[in-house]
Each structure stands twice: as C-alpha cells, then as structure tokens.
A and B are shown apart, each in its own frame.
Chain A
Amino acid sequence: EPEVTQTPSHQVTQMGQEVILRCVPISNHLYFYWYRQILGQKVEFLVSFYNNEISEKSEIFDDQFSVERPDGSNFTLKIRSTKLEDSAMYFCASLPGRREQYFGPGTRLTVT
C-alpha cells in the first residue's frame, strides 16, 4: 500500500538556521498538508496546498515558513530562521479527495 514518506526522521539544528523538511506524498493525491505537534500537545494544522498553491494557512504559519512542491513529487516545508519554539514533530499528510488524510511518520525537529 502506498505511503507518505518524510525525511529526515530527526533533524537537529541551531537556532537561527534554516531547515527544510521533506515529504513525498502518495502519487495520485491532490491535497497536501503540514501539521505540527509540540511535544505532549495536540496536533495543529499549519498549511494546506492544492493545485500548486497554498489553499489555507493557520496563524502559526507566519513569514518564517514556506512550502513548495519543487518537482511534482516532493513537498517541502522550509523554516527560514528557526527558533527554540519550533522544536516539534512535523507531519506531512496527503489525500486524494475528501477522505482520511494519510499521514507520514513525521520529522522530529530539535532546535538548540
């Protein structure tokens, strides 16, 4: 069964550095998402992406964040200048339509 994949599984970075989290959604899916989960807290929506553009973003998704689908398969989340509070698990999700969102295994980002 096709799966959403994410790399890396764990990223450690220093405050102020740029990070790029990568996701490969399921190939025939149309909608792509990033969610964030700070340790011990609930999963929070960051951004959705459809037809090569952002369709919705949350208040968390400020100018430090950007998303891209550079080559038609990868879906990336960039954080330009990381802060300590960006430390979290980041989940990518995709869906073919209005069905359950297929989540990737997550990338644990640690900002030191």
Chain B
Amino acid sequence: AQKVTQAQTEISVVEKEDVTLDCVYETRDTTYYLFWYKQPPSGELVFLIRRNSFDEQNEISGRYSWNFQKSTSSFNFTITASQVVDSAVYFCAQLTGETSGSRLTFGEGTQLTVNP
C-alpha cells in the first residue's frame, strides 16, 4: 500500500529564511509519480511539481527546489528566501501504478507560516 509521511505538522519561519519541507513515501511499485501541492488559505490545491520514479534529477524553479532521493524514499521541498505569500499548507502526494484511475495518496500536510 502507498503511504506518504510529512512529519512536520507546522513550521514557522521569519521572512527571507530558507525552509525545507520533508516528505517520505512508501511504495512497492517501480513506476510512480510524486507531487507537491500548495493549499493557500483560500482552499484551492495548486499544483507545484511532478516527478516520476525514473527521474532523480533535482529541480529548481525560482525560489523553489526539490530533492528527490530514491535511496531514502524522500522528496523534499525547499523554499529559498521565504516570503509571507508562501504561507500555506503544503501537501506531498504520490500516484502509483499504471492502471487507469490510479489515485493520489496525500500526506498529512505541513502548515508553513512565514512571518514578516
């Protein structure tokens, strides 16, 4: 069974600090996809990134970067020079299998608060 663990329930930082959100996943599948979503206070789910299990290259997008390590089953997310607008709940999620209709399994989420 798939499982996604986000051990950090809440993180609070001061603006301009770097912050890393941890994500550990479990799966027996060799093909899977990992995602990060942002949920701002308005409630919608904003897609941030998707990685597949065959691509361990780290990715950087502006102030965001992701570190995918299969050896530790982790897919961590770093925000550099955090801003108040980054305050949100961040969810890590996993999609496994090749069958149609495969579900996303979400972690519990990390509430990030960036203080001015």
Interface residues, chain A, with chain B CB atoms under 8 Å away: 30-31, 33, 35, 41-45, 48-51, 55-56, 58, 89, 91, 93, 98-103, 105-106, 108
Q: Which of B91, B102, B109 has the most CB of A within 10 A?
A: B102
- Across chains A and B, the number of contacting residue pairs, with CB separation under 8 Å, is 62
A44 and B2 CA atoms in complex are apart in Å by 13
A108 and B35 CA atoms in complex are apart in Å by 24
Q: Which of B33, B95, B106 contacts A44 (CB 8 A)?
A: B106
Closest B residue to A43 by CB, please name it. Answer: B106
Name the 9 nearest CB pairs between A and B, nearest first: A55-B101, A48-B101, A45-B103, A103-B45, A43-B106, A105-B44, A100-B50, A50-B100, A50-B101
Q: Which of B43, B101, B107 contacts A56 (CB 8 A)?
A: B101
Asked if B98 CB lies within 8 Å of chain A CBs, one says yes
